[in-house]
Structure 1
Amino acid sequence: MIRIGHNPNTNMLPMFHFLDKNHPLIEAVIAEPTGHNAMLAAGEIDMAPISAFSYGEHWKDYAILPNLSVSTKGRVGSIILFSKVPLNDLDGLTIALTDASATSVNLTKIILHHYLGVIPHYLTMSSNLQEMFLVADAALLIGDAAIQSALLQPDCYIYDLGEEWLKLTGCSMTYAVWAFPKSLLSEREQEIRIIHKLLIEAKVKALCNMDDVILTCQTMLGGTRSFWAGYFAQFNYGLDSSLECGLNKYLGLCFELGLLPSRPVLEFWPKE
């Protein structure tokens, strides 16, 4: 059996909605992205859609499953910096960072430090916009917490970090990749191949049946069908050469800014 990290956020539904979680090879373990990052590193799960940044931390030990990711070119809709002031005015102020993400936290730092020359103070806390705004001038939220807060139309500046990244770099942004320890290959190679095939099939089925996915999202968080259709239209759940280029740009900047100790290399398995 392969212990698979199951991310419950709506942006991951096209990965999981049609995946047979009762398959004899699958044991699903539910957690937020940072939880899966830590579990995979600790050997508590075998495979997960982890933060792209976490892959960068462990790239020498991990392999990436091909043609699976959570990516956008531009707007993402669920990685949002809510701010009381414009981005350029955050220098020296305080930003509350979600404790549920690694990729988005470091994307925020790249955008502010590297591109805008803005150096704020940071604190990390649970994802609650009202509580964050009590102690900070801006708040980074991801996933369903970001969507719910944005739907309430708070009286503040709202920055979609996918849009900001595209404006600054011209690149796509990959937020999560499916990864597993390369050490698993020595004894579980065939099982990994089977799981990879099941994940691809589930993704394809979801993308061909998005009405089912959208109905589930409405049940979870509300919102109109058109809102969710527009939300999912911006996502790419594959990982082609164009998306690889954006991912390499992000990981390279993380290294250059000292956020990662070495420059990551993308290694895929099974080879296509």
Structure 2
Amino acid sequence: MTLNIGHIKYANCTPIFSALLDSPACSKYSFVGGVPSVLNALLRSGEIDVCPSSSIEYGKSPGKYLLLPELSISSVGPVKSVLLFSRLPMEQLDGARIGLTTDSDTSVNLLKIILRKQFGFLNDMERTGLPLAEALRDFSALLLIGDAALRESMKFHGLHVYDLGELWWRFTGLPFVFALWLVTEKTALGKPNEVAALWRELVQAKERAYGTYARIASRCAERSWMSEEDLADYWRIISYELTPEHLKGVDTFFGYASELGIIAERPQIRLFSPNLSE
């Protein structure tokens, strides 16, 4: 029975997906590409079964999903690819109008929490698909994520650039989990053995990727715009784990999101148990 897997084609997902696609086991799966916000919607509707999905998606609909253990896309400090580009220094952003990427849900809400809870700011925020230079004619700052953020960070703009992973770390001392590997509860209940097999393959792919960043960088599509050395360095700062500290970070994020009315309540974290499928 085929599992439909959401494939975020951002550089931060390249190591695990490269290692997974190198495995003969991947022929059992169907991969659906897209940006996080699109794949969140597909997972929500049941059109895909499993995805490294925006953390806030679980917070909004915890009854729909289970978390795959030991897997995430996280930062423990700077993340390099979730960046606020600003014409003004942070201390002058209170009340400013801020543009938000259309590609993300978690990072958008992380920015809202940081500005409100860490700095005490109130801001007018609006989604925009405008490129950076155009957006900053209308907004004081623009939040970009993923490859767009990486690409812009490599240019000289004369702008203030704030890394949201670093801001969260300074605020809480905890990892920030940008994406959780979510499986729909329907799939977990209906195909437990298949989900358990995929989970084992993902964990193995993660472990293989850790030792082969240089090789992955030498043949990935991103090398057309980012050096192999910079790609490997970028992947080394990302945490692909889901430890108790990571889960504490998730719970803290959900707590603040609940306080700001972003989600209805602080959800209970529910993990898929591979052993129960055997």
Give TM class, smaller chain.
over 0.9
Q: Distance in 2 between matches of 1:127 and 1:49?
A: 26
Uncovered stretches (5+) of structure 2, i.e. residues with no partner: none
Deviation at 1:13, TM superposition (A): 0.9
Q: Distance in 1 between matches of 2:226 and 2:149?
A: 14
Is the aligned partner of 1:82 residue 2:75?
no
Supply the AA of the counterpart residue of 1:36.
L
Is the aligned partner of 1:92 residue 2:77?
no
Q: 1:222 to 1:157 in 2, by over 3 A?
A: same
Structure 2 counterparts to residues 64-213 of structure 1, below 5 A: 64-126=67-129, 128-213=131-216
Alignment correspondent of 1:6: 7
Say what the alpha-carbon RMSD is for the aligned residues.
1.7
Supply the AA of the counterpart residue of 2:237.
Q
Q: Distance in 1 between matches of 2:189 and 2:39?
A: 22
Supply the AA of the counterpart residue of 1:19.
L
Q: Distance in 2 between matches of 1:224 and 1:48?
A: 28
Q: 1:214 to 1:127 in 2, by over 3 A?
A: farther
Supply the AA of the counterpart residue of 1:244.
L
The answer to which of 173-182 and 213-222 deviates more is 213-222
- The TM-score, its normalising length taken from structure 1, stands at 0.95
Q: Distance in 2 between matches of 1:4 and 1:195?
A: 10
Structure 2 counterparts to residues 55-66 of structure 1, below 5 A: 55-66=58-69
Q: 1:253 to 1:10 in 2, by over 3 A?
A: same
2:50 touches 2:183 (CA, 8 Å); kept in 1? yes
Q: Distance in 2 between matches of 1:66 and 1:159?
A: 30
The answer to which of 236-245 and 223-232 deviates more is 223-232
Alignment correspondent of 2:255: 252
Q: Distance in 1 between matches of 2:17 and 2:145?
A: 18
Supply the AA of the counterpart residue of 1:261.
A
Is the aligned partner of 1:17 residue 2:2?
no
Q: Distance in 1 between matches of 2:199 and 2:182?
A: 11
1:217 touches 1:228 (CA, 8 Å); kept in 2? no
CA deviations over 1:121-156 (Å, ceiling 9, x no partner): 111012621221121110000000000000012111
Alignment correspondent of 2:234: 231
Uncovered stretches (5+) of structure 1, i.e. residues with no partner: none
Q: Distance in 1 between matches of 2:173 and 2:17?
A: 30
Deviation at 1:217, TM superposition (A): 5.1
Q: Distance in 2 between matches of 1:20 and 1:89?
A: 46
Q: 1:41 to 1:84 in 2, by over 3 A?
A: same
